[in-house]
Amino acid sequence: MKHAITILIMLLVLKLSAQSQINVTIIGTAHSFKKEYQPLQSFNEVQSFIKELSPDMICIEAIPTYDTASLKEIWPNTMRKADQLRDTLENITSDSEQVIVGAQYYSAYDFWNAYYHWFQAKQTEDSLRYFSKYFKDQSSSEFGLMVFPAAQKLGITHLYGIDFRDGEDEFMAANNKVLKKLFFSFKWKPLRVYLKTQKQYKKAEKAGELIEFINGAAFQDSFSALIDDLPKRLPKLEEAKFVKAYWHHRNEVMAERIIQTAQANDAQNVLLTVGSAHVTHIKQFLEKEGHQVTTYGQILNIKNQ
């Protein structure tokens, strides 16, 4: 009897553990794609992959509405526009429900869900009034080229922002100081690695292989290594320590928000689209917390075998 109870408890623990584990698939992206090279890139393949994956939810690199500190730091002018729109929300009429839903999202500071619904809206004369004043063009971003079309095909109505940007101004100031210090103190190796990576990036874009390049472990890991190596390269510069600490903190917060959002929505199969430079650290944190992570780069490697 005692052994039976022990086995029952063990099975219960294993079941609860399986239920709490989240399967996260990460697609690394650029935030802008040059229009002249867009027809060459594998955007359709990414859309097809997302459709086949059929995630329970899609998390994106956008600031959630509850993070007002980040919103105020990054989007103060957009927030003012949202406040103006909110004052006229009751008077909005449109033959497209997506226009109205988008306006409601926008007025609540949920800008990328607003853009998503406006992306789906019928381009009528009535809707174009809102597009011209509030809509941020997504035709060259990862959203307009991959995320929005795929989510629309899946019938997904809401995207979940998980970004964290509070303290971004201080981070950018410290980052600029680090770059200057690296240059004037002749710390050439990290600069050479950075410049080499940028050259490879441009070459891949021209060849129509940018998605594949930025999802490769070599690109993602080299950027992470550059950040992690800064305090060793510049041991006396406090800004170098701050840049590394802030970068890790931002990625950790994003990972925590993925977990919290998935658990709150009872989602086990999650897709994350995020700037490629974030992939390595977010993956490490999620795995440390016991979750299963697969990168798009790993998927491509399996397909190419």
Question: What would the pLDDT profile of 28-54 be if each residue is shown by its tens digit?
Answer: 999 999 999 999 999 999 999 999 999
Phi/psi of residue 167, nearest 5 degrees: 95, 10
The owner of tokens 């909005």 is 92
Whole-Å CA distances, 118 to 1, 129, 130, 245: 62, 11, 9, 37
pLDDT at residue 15 is higher than 60? no
Query: Residue 258 pLDDT > 90, yes or no?
Result: yes
What is the rounded CA–CA span in Å between residue 269 and residue 21?
10
Residue located via tokens 């990328």: 112
Looking at every residue in the chain, the average pLDDT score rounds to: 89
pLDDT digits (tens, 9 = 90+) for 54-77: 999 999 999 999 999 999 999 999
pTM of the shown model? 0.89
Contacts of 123-129 with CB under 8 Å at 24 or more apart are: 124/94, 124/95, 124/96, 126/93, 126/94, 126/95, 126/96, 126/99, 127/94, 127/96, 127/99
Coil, strand or helix: which one is 237?
coil
Q: Where are the domains of the chain?
A: 23-62+166-305, 73-158
Judged on CB neighbours under 10 Å (0-12, 13-18, 19+), 77 is exposed
